[in-house]
Amino acid sequence: MPWNRWYYPAGSLSQSDKDTIAKGITDIYAERYPRHSTLVVFIEIPADSFYRGGERTKGFHRITLQHMSGSYNVKELENDARMRFRGVWKPFVEDRGHAYELQIEEIPSPQISFDNYISHHILAEPLYEEMCKKDEIFKVKLVPE
């Protein structure tokens, strides 16, 4: 389940911009994942709260792409981030003169478990079913019979 967090200074993205960016990012992921599994979260930060090198800076965006281990080859993701994902956000960031930083996070396999999904209210059925087939976890009934 791709989880994208986008920190941006207040006023630098409109609702229409965010809609377009989220759709563009989801379109790329939809080539390998169900559309509903892609999460894009925009986190607005007061424009005077970004600091770089101890100095206040304007127009800085921080984009984080987070993936479960094995869900996306990291080298392929890095290449896609440089080329395809960048093409989605370039008109809204670089072309407007904003600086940005991209971070790619991979959650290691041992941290992935059905319990993590339950505790965060996210149920990833395909992963859960696959883990059950491999006897990596036991089936849990969420609703008493």
Question: How does pLDDT run across 36-45, given as a tens digit for each residue?
Answer: 888 999 999 9
Q: What is the mean pLDDT of residues 8-26?
A: 96
- Residue pLDDT, tens place only, 29-63: 888 778 888 899 999 999 899 888 899 988 899 99
Q: What is the pTM of this model?
A: 0.70
SS3 of 21-34: the string is HHHHHHHHHCCCCC
Tell me which DSSP letter residue 20 carries: H
pLDDT score recorded for residue 8: 95
Cα-Cα-Cα-Cα dihedral sign, residues 75, 79, 84, 87? positive
**Angle 104-85-4 (CA atoms, 0-180°, nearest 5)?**
50
Nearest to 50 by CA among 40, 58, 39: 58
List where CATH 3.30.429.10 sits in the chain: 3-108
Q: Is the pLDDT of residue 11 over 90?
A: yes
Q: What percent of the chain lies above the pLDDT cut of 70?
A: 67
Average pLDDT over residues 4-18: 96
CATH 2.40.340.10 for domain 3-108, yes or no, is: no
Q: Which among 142, 114, 138 is positioned nearest to 127, based on CA atoms? A: 114
pLDDT of 142: 43
75 class by beta-carbon count within 10 Å (0-12 exposed, 13-18 middle, 19+ buried):
exposed
